Amino acid sequence: DIQMTQSPSSLSASVGDRVTITCRASQGIRNDLGWYQQKLGKAPKRLIYAASSLQSGVPSRFSGSGSGTEFTLTISSLQPEDFATYYCLQNNSYPRTFGQGTKVEIK
């Protein structure tokens, strides 16, 4: 099984800050990775697919990069509505595996 190691598990940031979240795969997954945002009590919402493609309707302050085993989600200027938990998901092989999540909190 492919393990997805996500870091950090939580972070505190201020509005306007640049935020970076990383996922590392235990083996190469090409660019078969998505990033998700989840707010309390809601279903996950996909932000990025194929590692770097922005989902339609998602603000351009969100971006993804990486290929192989190292992936990054960047929020260029954190907004109040961005405080949430973020997950990566590898869709290269079964079983699908998620990162452990990163909770982004207000500083």
Binding site residues, another protein, CB under 8 A: 34, 36, 38, 42-46, 49, 55, 87, 89, 91, 94-101
Distance in Å, CB of 66 to another protein, minimum? 17
DSSP-derived 3-state class of residue 43 = coil
Distance in Å, CB of 13 to another protein, minimum? 20
Identify the CA nearest to 8 among candidates 103, 98, 83: 103
Q: Using only the alpha carbons of the chain, give its radius of gyration.
A: 13
Distance in Å, CB of 102 to another protein, minimum? 10
DSSP-derived 3-state class of residue 101 = coil
DSSP symbol at 56: T
* Cβ partners under 8 Å of residue 58, min gap 6: 47, 48
- The residue among 61 and 96 lying less far from another protein, judged by its C-beta, is 96
- The residue among 38 and 67 lying less far from another protein, judged by its C-beta, is 38
- The residue among 43 and 107 lying less far from another protein, judged by its C-beta, is 43
- The residue among 82 and 86 lying less far from another protein, judged by its C-beta, is 86
